[in-house]
Structure 1
Amino acid sequence: MTRDDISRGEAQRLRGLTEAARATRTFEILADSGALWVWGDEDEVLFSEDGERRTLLPIWPHATVARMENEGEVDGEHPIRITTEAFLNQWLPQLEEDEANIAIFPVEDRNAAVITLAEFRSRMTAALRLN
């Protein structure tokens, strides 16, 4: 396990939280750890779509929960760590060009929340101030 990993038991506990609690806890963890996790391989990051075919970038608060959600899907894919600073300053502008939203901590195809980039920036900035 890396320093960003948690036990599978702790990951299962987080996965079992209500959607609202998963979203709130995600921002607390991101502010505390200074990083978030996406899923992909050496060449690209995995995106999904909502029911209205809008592009979503799924993010997770720990590598372990990302792995539990995606393991066994495609060989070579793995959790990818992104610092919150890089996400806010580099990723969000690119996601804006792609007209993507953020899917917070999906579990079994149920997102804790789907939020706009502006809402993500606002909630992340608030969480960082509280930390």
Structure 2
Amino acid sequence: MATHEHPLLAMAPEQRLQETLNLIIQHKEIWILNDEHGCVMLNTDEEEDGVPIWPSSDLAQLWATDEWADCQPLSISLDDWLNKWQPGLTGDDLLVMVCPLPGEEGEVLLPSEFSEKLRR
């Protein structure tokens, strides 16, 4: 685990969602975790599949432990997210898990809802 405390780590999921959106819009990139099989997927509490996303590589890296130790943060441009990922995730019935933290899934949105918030 990284020893430095990121301000997002202390926030409630709703605050983290807003701050994550702000950072993504500011830096025009979204971070996922990737391994040789592709993008890391998580299950929500309702047993639905979701793709966790983060606003920075260091936050994504917090997840790269234990079974995900061989995963690397991967940057996706905001344009690629809106034009390729969002339609792809929607087509695969996947959700977006916004800035989950170890032990907590974060806000879970439909890809279209997440992209709509990014376009505001």
Same fold (TM over 0.5): yes
Q: For the residues of structure 2 that align with 1:113 and 1:78, how far apart are their CA atoms?
A: 22
Change in 2 beyond 3 A, CA 1:8/1:32: farther
Q: Which amino acid aligns with 2:55?
A: P
Partner of 2:119: 125
SS in 2 for 1:69: coil
8 Å Cα contact 2:90-2:110 kept in structure 1: no
* Identical positions, percent: 22
For 2:77 and 2:3, how far apart are their aligned partners in 1?
22
CA displacement at 1:71 relative to structure 2: 3.0
Does structure 2 conserve the Cα–Cα contact (< 8 Å) formed by 1:8 and 1:64?
no
Cα deviation code 1:44-95 (max 9, x no counterpart): 1111111222110100000001101223434531111101110110011111
The letter of the residue matching 1:56 is: G
CA shift at 1:10, angstroms?
5.1
1:58 matched to 2:63: no
Counting only pairs closer than 5 Å after superposition, residues 72-83 of structure 1 correspond to structure 2 as 72-83=66-77
Give runs of ≥4 in structure 1 deviating > 6 Å: none
Query: Match of 2:20?
Result: 26
More strand by share: 2
Work out which of the residue numbers 1, 4, 9 in structure 2 matches 1:9. 4
Moved more, 23-32 or 103-112: 103-112
What count of residue pairs does the alignment treat as equivalent? 119
Q: RMSD in angstroms over aligned alpha carbons?
A: 1.7
Under a length normalisation based on structure 2, what TM-score does the superposition of the two structures give? 0.89
**Offset at 1:118?**
1.7
